[in-house]
Each structure stands twice: as C-alpha cells, then as structure tokens.
A and B are shown apart, each in its own frame.
Chain A
C-alpha cells in the first residue's frame, strides 16, 4: 500500500487516534482507557474511530480484559445526599435516645424518606453488628457502639460519587458490601451497580505504522472536511487540504417522488394504444343496467345480471331517465329484433329494470355510450375503466379492477381485420410473435374470438377477447358500419412485471412495497 494513500482518506477521528500512537512510539500497545485520556474523545466517538481503523487493518487488537466496574445508581446518588438508610436510622435512634424517647420500628417505617423494606434490612444489619438493640414492644435502643458497615457505606458513597472505579481497587470487606448492595436481578433498588467493562488494547499494524509516518510527514492540522462559502470568498481554500471520503460506503436512503408501478404499466398500455390510433373514452362509475347490459343485448333475465354478479346502488335505485330514441329502439330489439334483422329474445322488456343503477361491471358499457354519441367512422376508441364485480375477494379475484377495452368502427371491419387487430395487440402489448385464435362466447359479439398468445416470459396465455358487435347492439345505437369490440386481460402480465403474486397487491397499502417495486416492462 502506498504510504500516501493509506492516510489519505482517514476521518479526523481516526487521525486523532493514530496521532496518539505516533507520539507514543515506544509503547507497544494502548488501552481504550489510555486512548480516551490521550485523545480527549467521547467514548462513542472513540469506539467508532477504533472500529474503522480495525476494519481498515491499521490497528490490531492486542488484548481483551473484562473488568467489573462499580458505579452509583440514581438511588446511590440519593444516598450521597441523604446518607444511607443504615446511617440515617442509627442517627435517628441515637437522637431519640438522647432526648429520652424510644423509636419503634413502625415509627421508622412511617418516615417518608425511608422505604419499609430498607428499614427492616438496615435494622437487621445494625442489630447483628451490635449497634442497636430491639427491646420490648419493638422499641429501638442505641448501644453506643459503631456500625462498621454504616461507616464503610459512607466512605464508598463518597469515593464513587461522580466516578466509576474498578471493583478490584477496593479492599476485600468493601467489595463484599458493594456486592451485597449492588443491583441484581430481583433487587433493582440498590445504590451500587457493577458492570463488566471490556478493556481492549490496540497496537499499530505494519500498515498502521506506515500510515502514522505518512500522517506525521503531512502534518495533522491542515485538513478541511467541508468546502464552505467562507473558504471560497477569501481564497483560503488554496492553503487547505480536503479530506477524501470513503465513497464505497452505502449512502442513506431517500424518499424519492415516483409514479406507482402498476399505473406506469397502465400508462405504457395507454400510450401504446394512442400510438396505434386509439382515442380515449371515459365513463361513469355508476351506470344504468341499460348502458351496462341492455344496449349490449344481454337479456334482462341473463344470469350475469342477478344480484350475485353485479353491485346494485342503494339510493337512488333508479336513473331519472334514459335517452331516447335509444331506450325504445333497444327495448324493441330485445323483444322481437326491431329493424335489426334479428328475432330478438322474445320477452317483455322492462323499462324500470333498464333504469336500475349498478356499479359499472364491464368496460363495454363505456363503448356502448360512445357508439350512441356519433363516433367517428372510421374510428378507434379505448378506455381503461374501473369495474366492479360481486366476487369473493382472494389472491386472483378483485372486487374493483381495471378493464382495458375498446371498439373499432369502419367499413373495412370484418372477421379478418378483427384477427389482424388482435395480431397487432399481441405484438405491441405482449411482445408475442405466436398467436392462436379460439372461438369464444360473449353475449354482445358474433363471431367471438379469444386471443391466446405466447408471451416471451409467461408462455401461452389468454390475452383478450373480442368479436364483431352484434347488429342488435350497433343498429339501435345508430351505428350502421361493422364494429369490433375488444378487451385485454392485462392483470396477469402486470403482476409478473411487478413481481407480485396476489392481485390485491396491485392496490397495496404497503408503502415500503410501493417504494421498492420496480416496474420492468
């Protein structure tokens, strides 16, 4: 290692520690305590600096000793001010005896500054040492003899006041007393605390020695951590050296502004569709059964219209009106085909039922509204519409989801151009080169087809369904040209792109998941 580079990117704290080793060249090892004294650093800063230097292999750990250290607890500090219970009780009894009164144990236990358990423990000890006598009726009498433990306690409190000392620095009898009055499990209200302090001593590694020499040559004081406006203003930066950073460390995380990955996926689909010449349509979350189903030639007795498939609105239950001439034309078409060339469903169309309000259950409702609003011919339309189904929610069923749907109108629309459009979707939306067209059934299209594609990552999958709108759908809405209706099922593709396995996670409330999910599409 080059001597210069070995000390170039040292933190000021590290340099302070190395400096101590530089001025004590003759000493082979220095303890943490010695280093703390010599550097004047706080213990947290010191241990940080040592940790870095050891990690960089500039310092090596020479020895490790465990020393029990004694210090005062908050209770111990109270004793320093008020005296220990031993001392307070002894002096109270003596003071009472001097005035000819006798104190009882109960009297002492009643005193505010003493804890009942402390009192009985202290009295027990004083009695054992012969400093007190307990006579009839629980009265206490001073014998006039001194109490060695009360004395020792006073000494210890004094010595440990604002200092932590190794347990071994005390004589044997004091050590016993300390242990007896130290915080242990089950007795936390004690004056002393014994903590094991790990003392390590460190020595320079050969690389460390090189760094120390290099540092000495450089001089320690010229370094600047941060370029400041002041340094720039007077040109003082010219005489400074700038500390080099350890740039290999991981930076802290920041909260960045970001789009939702599922929304980004839908945005990508949206712009693909616009690129293919589709115009966006929008609709209402609440729809009438008329636009949601009747216009799509789903008979009013169709099983997909009952209360186990669609959410009905509570209040108001019905729309105030439905636009003519659509209502009567659609009713006629359901009943006997009207002018569409169809035989119709042959039942009595219920106008009230048509007005029933539901939560939009299929994006095709938006297409139906567009057909009735004099769309462009030729024309291509799409919507990414939130739809609602009366479904038990689980990993593969959501009650509230997006449908990507649309229509294509034109004189050149037929079954083959329908397949051509689906080919285009397969290529553009799923990057699939292989497709399969499978006959399908939808109440509003004939012929109907399902698009299966070989996705580059997912293998064969169903990408969507489509068909030519039945004339029973288009003619009552005033559209005379053939119309393709198509829908794409993209949630599975989105879930794979986002690396999630539960459809509910598309709308997750877990911010960490949203922040960390990359949309890869």
Chain B
C-alpha cells in the first residue's frame, strides 16, 4: 500500500495498458475503462461574484460495456458532468479520459462520443433517414456503407416505416427512437443520454426503459445515462453514481445503493427511508447498541468506528418495519393509513419520531391491519437498520 501511494502516477497502470491496443476492440473489452475523470472541477463564472461550483473534485471510473447512470436532483451537476464528457463544456481543472485518451481539450466533434439529447434535437429540416445518416457522412463513410448502416439502425429501433418522414410529424416515442438510432449509427465508444425519457408519458417511459437496456446489451456500447428519477436509475443501470451539490455521494450497483446507503442523502434520495437520530450506547465487536429517544435500544452492525455517546442516524426502509400488537411492546401510535393498491402505508408516531411503514396488502392474507389511533409495536427485520454517520 505504502509503495503504491508513493508511485508518481497513482492511477493503476493496468487500466491504461489494456485500453487502446491496435487490433483489439476496446469498445467491447469487458474490463477496460470507458471513461475516467480525475479531480474534476467545474466552476461557472470563475473569478466573478456569480461564481458557481457545479462539480467539486469528482473522481469516477466507468467501465466499458456498462450501463452507467448519473443520478441526482436537478442542479446537482450531473448534466454538467455529461456535457464535459461530450465536450460541450470545458472543465475548470482535472482530467477527463475516454478509453485512455485525454480528451479534456478536444472539441465535441473530435470525441468518440455521441449524445441523445433531452428534447432529442433532431434536425427538423431532414428526414429520419438523413438524420441517421448525418453522423456517418461526417465521418466520411462511403455511400454504400452509410446506406446499409442507416437501414440497420432503422431496423434496430423499429422505425423503417418512418424513414422518409420528418421529425415534426412524429410522436415523442418515435422521435426518441430516431434520436437513439442517430446517436448509435456512427458506433460511438460512449453513448451519453441526457434525461432522454423525461419528455415521455409514463407507459411509454417504462417501455423505453426496457428497450434502452436491451439496446445497450445488443450494441455493447457503454451508456452513460443522466436522470433525476431514482426508479429509472435502479431499473436500468449496471452501476449508479449518486451526485448531490457537485459531490459524488456514492457509486455502486442499484442493490448497493438501495440496501447499503452510505449517507443520509443517498438513503433519503433513493427510495424512501425512515431517518432516525440515535446515540451510540456501546459497541461490541462489529455491532453497536443504539439508543433511540422515546423508543429504546436497538442493535445494528456498524462498519466504521463509532464512539460511545456519538450521534448517528439510522435508516430503515418502510417495507422493513414490522408492525404488531398484543406483545406488550406497543409504543407507536398509528396516525394515518393510506391505501396504495399494492400496499398499505401506515404513518406512525413513536415519541418524537415520525415513521412510515409499508405493508404489502395490509390486512389481507392473514396480515394484521391497523387503523388511525391504534397503538402498535414496531419491529425491524434483521439487517434492516443501516447506521449512517453523515
């Protein structure tokens, strides 16, 4: 470890060795790094009173063949990061590499990257066919190749019947498909998608999720997808990066992010979470005893060092709270019951704390149902409590 840190180039050497070898196809190489940003900073209006730090020291590695999602609330910097990768925005400091090549100073047309824009940005004066051919023509591909690739792309996105229509005569979903075909046609090494589903209605959005995912698998191109919709991110991605306020909060698989949030922000932003303040009341082995005011003590594993008396937060998903009655432990009061169709949500008061519990088909199939005013006991499924220090 010590020696690795003192190495003049702290980046693992292996990555840059694998990547751009002549004859090999880095795009489909399963272990190569597709995009990598190091110490990336972006400050708008630097040096003026309106200076705004959109990205603060972001380090990120995106693997080839990955469906990678940048997730965060609006204004968190995720789109800025995408625009820096696409070359539409210059980074303030740090480096940005695409398949090993430093692209920090390259204009957009010199990068092996294509983009699907939020409002598609199809060329309104061209037919679908000409839109898709545009990128290939810019690369100077021979006519026959352009034509055959366009046909293949039309087929891939099921738009062959619309080839000679103009974009403004088509629906949002159709435009979306054309935008995908146009961006995929030049076979980019990296495909950037800037909230491409946000302009579609719910049903279509769910259908396009599946289509996008299968397109990514079929083409083997690395997708970098930007969204503020956590459900979308969980459903489609191989890995997700959660960004807030210009900081990278957590990177991991959807399961990691959902089950093992490392901060209150992630726990709260991804899905729903009960966040409860607690005090450490003793640590034995990897497990801490935690005192929740007005409720009592609970036990949960802790990954990091905590000290007696330290203030921490507990995150518990609503579906992992178990309500019961008749066991003499009733300490929570039901304040509200909401029927959601596929589940019932209970709002509870425990001392000072407001909790939400969700029970699939509450009251049915032998499960107990509760009404506002009932006093119930609250249990936690084993392993459901996540201790957060920040």
Judge: A and B partners, yes or no: no
Q: Which residues of A contact B (CB under 8 A)?
A: none
